[in-house]
Every structure is written in structure tokens, then in C-alpha cells.
Amino acid sequence: MQNSFRISAAKRSQDWKLYDVGGARGQRHAWVPYFDDATAIIFIAPISAFDQYLEEDPDINRITDSLQLFSRICSNRLLKDAKLVLLLNKIDILREKLEAGVMVQKYITSFGDRPNNLETVADYFRSQFQKVHRRKDVSNRPLYLHFTSMLDIKATQKIIPKVGEAILRKHIAQAGLA
């Protein structure tokens, strides 16, 4: 699915095309070559899905799957010039699950005996994605990481222009205008 829209930031505007490439695990390798000239990759990981497993492979935890896919994106040389934006999404649902007493350790054994509260759990998942980025990124790009709830429209509307501004700054610098 493709959406087009205009982003204004840093006194400039730019037309954006956003492609949703979600889908079955077996199809993922097919889309990578089409994005070798992408300006940015916005990776959305549902951190509330720690207690869920893939429909097509019930042995794979959804967080593990997200980490594996993020690792492949970080290490893919065709995508080396794209900015990386990581949205750790569904923080609101994560909060609800933790408040209801769902224990992360039951599903993610590496979580260990850490406190089962929102701050600790969110920090743990953030660190897991940051480790993948540090170990696997092929071009030492910065990682723009945000916790989100796509239901919180105001907060999400603040994040996208920040991403746009970072991308515009890169283009301005490359053009020798900075």
C-alpha cells in the first residue's frame, strides 16, 4: 500500500511516499531490492506483542520476529543509505497488559527477574533493538527511536515532522547548503 503526502520542516517542504510492506514472513525478501534508493525506513515494532506468536509459525515470538527483521534491515547493504526510524509501538497496550499482571518473563526468558513495570519493560525492549542496531548496522547510521501509540494522534504527528527534518537536513548538507 502506498500513501503520498507533503512534509514541511526546516522552512522547506518535501513530497513523501510511504509504502507499507508488512506481510507474511516468506514474502519479506522480495521487497528489499525495490527500496535501494529509500530516504528512510520507518520500522514499527509492536512491543505489546511480547506474549504473542506468529500465526504462520507458532514457535516464534512476535518480538523475536521483529528483532530478526530489524537485524536484516540494519545489515542489508542495499538499504545502507536510508535513515533508520524505529517506532516501538503500542506502548498503551503494553501498559494495560502489565497492569493486568501479564508477566514478560513468562514469554521472554532473557528478561529475567527484572521488575515487571512499564519503565523497566519498555527500557528492556528499547535496549534489545539498540543492541541489534549497534551490532548489525552496516553504515553506522543514527537510529531515531520513539515510543508510540498510533492511537495518540497528537504525539505521532510530532514524530513524523522530526523525521522529515532530519532527512531534509541530510539533503541540505549533501547539496552543500549547510
Chain segment 6-50, per-residue pLDDT in tens: 766 567 776 766 666 665 566 666 777 777 788 888 888 999 999
Where in the sequence is the domain holding 155, given as residue range(s)? 2-174
Mean confidence (pLDDT) of the chain: 83
- In terms of DSSP bridges, do strands 40-46 and 83-89 run parallel, antiparallel, or are they unpaired? parallel
Amino acid 62: pLDDT: 95
How many structural domains does the chain have?
1
For residue 155, name the pLDDT band (cuts at 50, 70, 90): low
23 φ/ψ sector (left φ>0, alpha ψ -120 to 50, else beta)? left
Averaged over 88-102, what is the pLDDT?
Answer: 96
DSSP for 24-75 reads -GGGHHHHGGGGTT-SEEEEEEEGGGGG-B-SS-TTSBHHHHHHHHHHHHHH
CA–CA gap between residue 44 and residue 156 (Å, rounded)? 12
For residue 153, name the pLDDT band (cuts at 50, 70, 90): low
* 47: CB partners within 8 A, 6+ apart: 63, 88, 89, 90, 91, 94, 121, 122, 125, 147
SS3 84: strand
Residues above pLDDT 70, as percent of the chain? 69
CA–CA gap between residue 133 and residue 37 (Å, rounded)? 20
CATH of the domain at 110: 3.40.50.300
- What is the per-residue pLDDT across 122-146, written as a single tens digit (0 to 9) for each? 999 999 999 999 999 999 999 999 8
Amino acid 139: pLDDT: 92
For residue 90, name the pLDDT band (cuts at 50, 70, 90): very high
DSSP for 109-152 reads GGGTT---SHHHHHHHHHHHHHHHHHHH-SS---EEEEE--TT-
Amino acid 75: pLDDT: 94
CA–CA gap between residue 33 and residue 18 (Å, rounded)? 16
CA–CA gap between residue 119 and residue 128 (Å, rounded)? 14
